[in-house]
Amino acid sequence: MNGTESGTGGGAVADPVGADRLVGVVGAGTMGVGVAQCLAEAGHRVVVVDPSEEARSKGPRRLNDGLRTARLLRTRTKGAAPASPAASAPAPGKGPAADVAARISWVPHLSGLDGASFVIECGPERIPVKEAVFKELDAVCPADAVFASCTSAIPVAQLAAYTQRPDRVIGTHFMNPAYLKDAVEVIRGPRTASSTLDATLALLATMGKRGHVVRDAPGFVSNRILMPVVNDAAALLQAGTSDAGTVDKIFEECFGHAMGPLRTADLIGLDTVLDSLHVLLETTGDPRFEPCDLLVDLVRRGECGRKSGQGFYSYTSHGAHGAHGAYESHGSYESYGSRR
């Protein structure tokens, strides 16, 4: 076990690791499809739920793109130490893509998860949407199923309160792209049971991922630090202090970061960054989380980063270019995949 205190007791949790167990993913956006890919590559049967027909129709193509990219990048880094996947899990990227795709089903309704032992929610970072999803999951899923949220900032305790099983609710903050990241920020709520934490870490291990456990708080560790940095970097851009490329080069070449804050924001998705800042502002009341005008305007124009082809940088098949200079310029729910 990593990180924090030993947990509360709670009832036994169904083993989610066996290949005969069904794992649900809510949301067919970038993150949901990436998480589904990781699960299916590890041999799990997966059901992805999204009320948007468009998101579901794009899901298999996104999956194939992810499999192709993962294989290419893993081949380039062949020989690197593995992330200690469970012995029973197939090596990531080794099975035929058709076999991986065959393990994933795409459905429009949460009722399709009535047999799931573990559900990973990857919907929009908006509290009303997550409230509706968790309440319905609580009604349709088995009583011993675990609910994990890939929330970027919403406290786990708040999500758990929407269910009758707060001991079986946990945060699993995957980073994008999920299939290339070996670590996951795991958020233990105040009522999360030890058995829930153990089952979550075991499931992550089958995917070759390490779980770093932190206590519950708005934004946890990652985004409590990262979101204000991104917001401040965008504000400097807005003020004309620097262009995007120079901001990122200072972080990359002076501090040694692999990627600067604005490139990172484009990878995350500027809509997700904006939603996370709104959540942090609402849950903490701290004015430093008030989004700057440039970030708001980019999202309003649909310039959400890599996934839209334009954010702080422009993206083509030849890579990122044309960094911004000064500020010149999901059914009954919103689509679960709409932000990611």
What confidence tens digit (pLDDT) does each residue in 188-215 have? 999 999 999 999 999 999 999 999 999 9
> Which residues does the annotation mark as catalytic?
173
Per-residue pLDDT, 252: 98
Residue for token pair 């970072």:
125
Residue 326 has pLDDT above 60, yes or no: no
User: Where do the domains of the chain lie?
Assistant: 22-215, 223-327
Averaged pLDDT score across all residues of the chain: 87
Helices and strands of the chain, counted as H and E runs: 11, 10
Per-residue pLDDT, 86: 39
What confidence tens digit (pLDDT) does each residue in 278-289 have? 999 999 999 999
Write down the CATH superfamily of domain 22-215.
NAD(P)-binding Rossmann-like Domain (3.40.50.720)
Per-residue pLDDT, 340: 43
What confidence tens digit (pLDDT) does each residue in 117-176 have? 999 999 999 999 999 999 999 999 999 999 999 999 999 999 999 999 999 999 999 999
Give 109: exposed, middle or buried? Use CB within 10 Å, 0-12, 13-18, 19+: middle
Per-residue pLDDT, 211: 98
Per-residue pLDDT, 83: 43
pTM over 0.95: no
Give 101: exposed, middle or buried? Use CB within 10 Å, 0-12, 13-18, 19+: middle
Q: How many CA atoms lie within 13 A of 185 on its CB side?
A: 22
Per-residue pLDDT, 97: 86
Beta bridge partners of 273: none
Residue 291 has pLDDT above 80, yes or no: yes
Write down the CATH superfamily of domain 223-327.
N-(1-d-carboxylethyl)-l-norvaline Dehydrogenase; domain 2 (1.10.1040.10)
Chain centroid to Cα 335, Å, comes to 15
In the structure, what pLDDT confidence band is assigned to residue 26 with cuts at 50, 70 and 90? very high
How far apart are alpha carbons 181 and 315 in whole angstroms?
A: 22
Q: Is the peptide bond before 51 cis (omega within 30 degrees of 0)?
A: no
| DSSP string across 252-304 | IIIS--SS-HHHHHHHH-HHHHHHHHHHHHHHH--GGGSPPHHHHHHHHTT--
